[in-house]
Chain A
């Protein structure tokens, strides 16, 4: 593995992302707002009582962690890979003596650092104002970190195979919009999965979207039983593997038919 090359890539991309930081801060702000709205609405709705096992402080804790997880796992591959294919700039990347996935990974590290520079201070202030209620145990934190890593891999690979559809069609936008809506509904943003009505809850548990955002958050702030956690990890690993296989297959086929238009 070409470690020096990877390091140089990350450094270069980090510098170029920081150059446009106001743009990325605006993006991060936009992503933060929908969960923030539901944090405020649910915590007002809970008032002094509780809804579906969540009291006000529990909603605050759940959503603050969700905002963080959503930002860390957010799939930006549509721009870092999809746009490059559409515009033909991937030619430069294909010529490098490094697998193109490293370029997407380097963008991932660079981009996420810029976003978190914006998010972390705001989350800290919100936590001070809104007083979340949560107790961490080392076991929960450990499982959370593992689930977070898998959630990031799943969302990255899932986004990657969808972005690779750009090899066939210049516009996979409809699929991306659909995915955003499903993440909003089923990945714990509009409400914690436990509060969804029956059919949506079953869909959330089977489909991959909960495992991209909500699952780690539920481990850290909720009270999932051991059986639920074990089942969750099993489904998460299954979808991650499937996404990895899809990415590899689609990449191989796509590169073969890619003709490198543009410059």
Chain B
């Protein structure tokens, strides 16, 4: 058993979190096939949407079918990673029967671990690994269709951009989840889900004012468009640096907001 100090120990607990989550999920076996079906349909509608669009036009603001498809692959992989371990833990906080509203959050606070790390890592949905594979498939097929030999710089900037995109996603989710401490009934993460869908398409396809909002204010564009631009070689190095700085700033802001929110929590009932 881990001792009472240090956040590093939570990493050792991850195998147990995974095991318990798997046991909980395995109790509902019929759900497995429904999830399978949903994932495949989700993939099919995404791919068909892009094929229909590019059936009418060859390229939109520099994006062609292959590069837009690569971006969809990134979107699907990022969504799958979120569903794998960050999403389930944070989603359980909000809503009418959520942990904050019902006071079940007490049991999270009582654990001798860093609360933010515990909330983020406690629940796993292993089925998302299948989604991850589907996303990877779309991504690889799209890369093959792009028919470009990637330079070392493109691969390097892609990996950095994807990493900073994932940190940005985590930070925004944390911020939206922390708002729950002020208003426990509102499903803030669902609002974010709606906005995040906009990351299915490159920011270049949106009007200028929206592009600015989605790049700097609610930066879902940074999560998928910047890595995709790194692959097509159209990424300005300054944007890569900007995305890393934004990731660091949002991570700090998200952590701070979550800590302030935690202090507002006063359990339920008397």
Contact = CB atoms under 8 A, between A and B. Distances in A.
Interface of A: 20, 22-23, 26-27, 29-30, 32-34, 37-38, 40-42, 44-45, 51-52, 171, 173-174, 177-178, 181, 184-185, 190-191, 195-197, 200
5 contacts: A20-B96, A41-B201, A51-B56, A190-B48, A197-B51
Nearest to B202: A41
B193 interface: yes
B191 A26 contact: yes
Interface residues of B, number: 38
Interface of B: 30-31, 33-34, 37-38, 41-42, 44-45, 48-49, 51-53, 55-57, 60-61, 96, 183, 185-187, 190-191, 193-195, 197-198, 200-201, 205-207, 210
The 10 closest A-B pairs by CB, nearest first: A33-B194, A181-B41, A30-B194, A51-B56, A190-B49, A174-B34, A41-B205, A177-B38, A44-B205, A45-B60
Contacts of A51: 56-57
A70 to B, nearest CB: 14
Nearest to B188: A26
B45 A190 contact: yes
Nearest to B201: A41
A200 B206 CA distance: 26
B267 to A, nearest CB: 22
A29 B195 CA distance: 9
A140 B61 CA distance: 36
A26 B187 contact: yes
Contacts of B45: 181, 184-185, 190
Given A44-B60, A190-B48, 16 more contacts: A22-B185, A23-B185, A26-B191, A30-B190, A38-B49, A44-B205, A44-B207, A45-B53, A171-B30, A174-B37, A181-B42, A191-B53, A195-B52, A195-B55, A197-B52, A200-B52
B41 A171 contact: no
A185 B49 CA distance: 8
Nearest to A173: B34
Nearest to A33: B194
B52 A37 contact: no
Contact of A190 (B37, B52, B96): B52
Nearest to A34: B197
A33 B197 contact: yes
Nearest to B191: A26
A196 B56 CA distance: 9
Chain B interface, DSSP helix/strand/loop, else mixed: helix
A32 B38 CA distance: 20
A130 to B, nearest CB: 8
B33 A37 contact: no
A40 B206 contact: yes
Contact of B96 (A23, A38, A45): A23
Contact of B33 (A174, A184, A190): A174
Contacts of B210: 40
A52 B56 contact: yes
A229 B151 CA distance: 55
Contacts of A42: 53
A30 B52 contact: no
Given A44-B206, A51-B57, A26 B186 contact: yes
Contacts of A173: 34
Contacts of A181: 41-42, 44-45
A22 B34 contact: no
B186 A45 contact: no
Nearest to B95: A23
Contacts of B44: 181
Contacts of B201: 37, 41
Most A CB within 10 A of own CB, among B49, B183, B186, B187? B49
Given A44-B206, A197-B55, A37 B34 contact: no
Contact of B197 (A23, A37, A45, A178): A37
Contacts of A30: 190-191, 193-194
Nearest to A54: B56
Contact of B200 (A32, A37, A171): A37
B100 to A, nearest CB: 15
Contact of B57 (A23, A45, A190): A45
Nearest to B61: A44
A158 B70 CA distance: 37
Nearest to A197: B55
